[in-house]
Structure 1
Amino acid sequence: MHPEAARAWPAPAKLNLFLHIVGRRADGYHLLQTVFQFVDLCDTLHLTPRADGALRMLTPLPGVPPEQDLCVRAARALQVHSGCRQGVDIALTKRVPMGGGLGGGSSDAATVLLALNRLWDLRLPREALAGIGLALGADVPVFIGGRAAWAEGVGERLTPIELDQPWYLIVDCGAAVATAAVFGHPKLTRNTPPITISRFRDGTTGNDCLAVVRQLYPAVDAAYRWLSRYGRAQLSGTGGSLFARFEGHAQAAQALAALPAPWRGWVVRGLNRHPLLDD
């Protein structure tokens, strides 16, 4: 057995500190500008290599057939790319809410690629893993790259960026936002002028999806109005999770204590480095 086969592999959530839609490609994909920062809210994966080539999801997610699960798809894509004949049993402990704009599925897929690259002794460079990951989802490469990043294109052109690592309160109101419905909405802003990193640092940014998500999902609108009482409420990705920055853990925890039921919340720390970057 591989010496790392029994270990737990973290898959952190991410926040989009802003999200501008600056255009649209001929194939219909939206062109974006955004900044990704990881947080210490993580899913956990246990991966046990198999000699027979089978890929088994031991902890299927509700409503997600195993063959469509991003973890299984990532393992299969790595098999195909590398020609590896090994398989894996995958067990996932899910903490990052699904459909919340926090990148949980993409992060899980990235961690599967990073972990199996070692467990299967493939020794592929991160650039090759990122290429495999991009075919699974536009957010996967940032988790493979492992650094907080300024992103352009469909989110795959990444420039590492150093950010403050503040405390955030993340609020999940239970709305699983359909990304396709947001990007297909006629009122979505699609022509925000491109900005520079220095302008992002000046704070003149927002999330172009926020107005549409608030209109389509009343629960997100209610959570946005509640969180705005404590700070600048922001939408991560296309939602439906919201977050606000706090100066310290105590202030974020105080707001969390007042969170209305049945919403869920987490006090998290911003991270500029993926937990597996230096592993």
Structure 2
Amino acid sequence: MIYTWPSPAKINLFLYVTGIRSDGYHYIQSLFQFLNYGDTLKIIPNNTGNIELFFEKKLFLNSENIIIKAANLLKSKALNYKKTNCITLGAKIFLNKKIPIGSGLGGGSSNAATVLIVLNKLWKTKFTLQELAEFGLEIGSDIPAFVIGKTSIVEGIGEILHPIQRKEKWYLVVYPEIHILTKNIFSSFLLNSSNQKKSIQFLLKSPFKNDFENIVSNKFKKIKKLLSILSPYAPTRMTGTGSCVFAEFNDKLSAQKIFSLLPKNMQGFIAKSVNTSPLHHIFYEKNNHIFN
């Protein structure tokens, strides 16, 4: 039987930059919140030794694609750790894309994490979640959070996670049809004395903010306008380095009401936050019997 696996979106409830490493990576403090919305991946293992990605019914062979990189990374780690004869390990992966690229919702990192977790089981490579998270950091700083799969305070360059429980809310997420490259926004960020690392207790008690919001909204007037439209109705922020903007509500009806006030051609969705990633909920809690 073939199963389709969720690859959820995330939003950053807050995002602060606290330093820059000599290699250019930025230290951050962020609150990662998963949503019950995202892409899906159908993953079929085989013994061809080939990794094939299909998107919109077309074969996609770009070796730099993060899904293909994640699968090949897992194969190489299995060889290094002598887990199995990884030379013959292969898979066909079918991507159903709902998360916009360059939206700040973590679609690529989420896809990679789903591939690492599912193929680890299908290929019987038997790595722990912590090991998969460490591997994922080699190709994307957001991947460890998706691998661990819990609402978390994220620190360092993405490798330090502090899982927490939060009241689940409803979010109206609007995509202004702007594709933003994260590396371009990080490269334009300037540190100052206010960017020092704070305690988790302080962060959770303080008003949530995003250090990149002013930079991005000043560069893209459409994002600034979107923030001004939504902020009178609910707490509103940009996620990640953009471009999506989200507004937070206590119930679905309130989110739907505000969504109905937006221009009809504006792309967006309403989703509930979840403290456990939808992938982990299915993989570890509901359907673990499918591998037995």
In the superposition, the TM-score normalised over structure 2's length comes to 0.89
Measure the CA separation in 2 of the matches of 1:179 and 1:253: 30
Shift of 1:8: 0.6
Tell me whether 1:252 sits opposite 2:255 in the alignment: yes
Choose from 132, 137, 142 the match for 1:134.
137
Pick aligned residue for 1:270 from 269, 273, 284: 273
Q: Identify which range, 235-244 or 176-185, moves more after superposition.
A: 176-185
Cross-structure match for 1:46: 42
Query: Structure 1, residues 141-191: CA drift from partner, whole Å, max 9, x if none?
Result: 011111111111112211111111111111111111121221111557685
User: Structure 1 pair 190/103, CA: closer, same or farther in 2 (3 Å)?
Assistant: farther
**Which residue of structure 2 lines up, in the alignment, with residue 21 of structure 1?**
17
Contact 1:187 1:212 in 2 (8 A): no
Provide the rounded CA distance (Å) in 1 between the counterparts of 2:229 and 2:146: 30
Match of 2:83 in 1: none
Query: Match for residue 71 of structure 1?
Result: 67
Counterpart code for 2:131:
A
The percent identity for this pair of structures is 34
What's the Cα RMSD here? 1.9
Aligned partner (choices 138, 143, 147) of residue 144 of structure 1: 147
Secondary structure at the counterpart of residue 63 of structure 2 = helix
Q: Which amino acid aligns with 2:110?
A: S
> In the alignment, is residue 97 of structure 1 matched against residue 93 of structure 2?
no
CA contact (8 A) 1:182 1:188 kept: no
Q: Determine whether 1:124 maps to 2:120.
A: no
Q: Is the 8 A contact 2:9 2:34 kept in 1?
A: yes
TM-aligned CA deviation for residue 265 of structure 1: 1.2
Which residue number in structure 1 is paired with residue 112 of structure 2? Answer: 109
SS in 2 for 1:89: strand
How far is the alpha carbon of 1:248 from its aligned partner? 0.7
Equivalent residue for 1:30? 26
Q: 1:119 to 1:100 in 2, by over 3 A?
A: same
Report the CA distance between 1:128 and its aligned residue.
Answer: 1.3
Please give the alpha-carbon distance, in whole angstroms, between the structure 2 residues aligned to 1:107 and 1:12.
Answer: 6
Which residue of the other structure, out of 211, 219, 236, is the alignment partner of 2:214? Answer: 211
Question: Cα–Cα, structure 1 residues 88 and 241, in superposed 2: closer, same or farther, change >3 Å?
Answer: same
Runs of 4+ in 1 over 3 A off after TM superposition: 186-191
Note if 1:242 corresponds to 2:248: no
| AA partner of residue 222 (structure 2) | A
| 2:184 matched residue in structure 1 | 181
Q: Aligned equivalents of 1:68 and 1:60: distance in 2?
A: 18
Between stretches 203-212 and 188-197, larger displacement belongs to: 188-197
Distance 1:46 1:122 in 2: 19
- Is 1:228 paired with 2:212? no
**Alpha-carbon distance between aligned partners in 1 of 2:56 and 2:159, rounded to the nearest angstrom:** 28
Mark the runs of 5 or more structure 2 residues left unpaired by the alignment: 80-85, 286-292
Write the deviation string for residues 79-130 of structure 1: whole angstroms up to 9, x where unpaired. Answer: 1111322101110001111101110100000000011011111111111111
Instruction: Could you tell me which runs of 5 or more consecutive residues in structure 1 were left unpaired when the two chains were aligned.
Output: none
Deviation at 1:201, TM superposition (A): 2.4
- The secondary structure found in structure 2 opposite 1:96 is coil
CA distance in 1, matches of 2:100, 2:230: 18
In the TM superposition, 1:142-181 aligns within 5 A as 142-181=145-184
Shift of 1:60: 6.6
**Is 2:66 the counterpart of 1:86?**
no
> Any idea what SS the aligned residue of 1:88 has?
strand
Q: 1:206 to 1:234 in 2, by over 3 A?
A: same
Could you report, residue by residue, the CA deviation over 1:20-72 in whole angstroms, capped at 9, with x for unpaired residues? Answer: 1111112221111111110011210001112111111111799x863221111
Task: Supply the AA of the counterpart residue of 2:11.
Answer: L
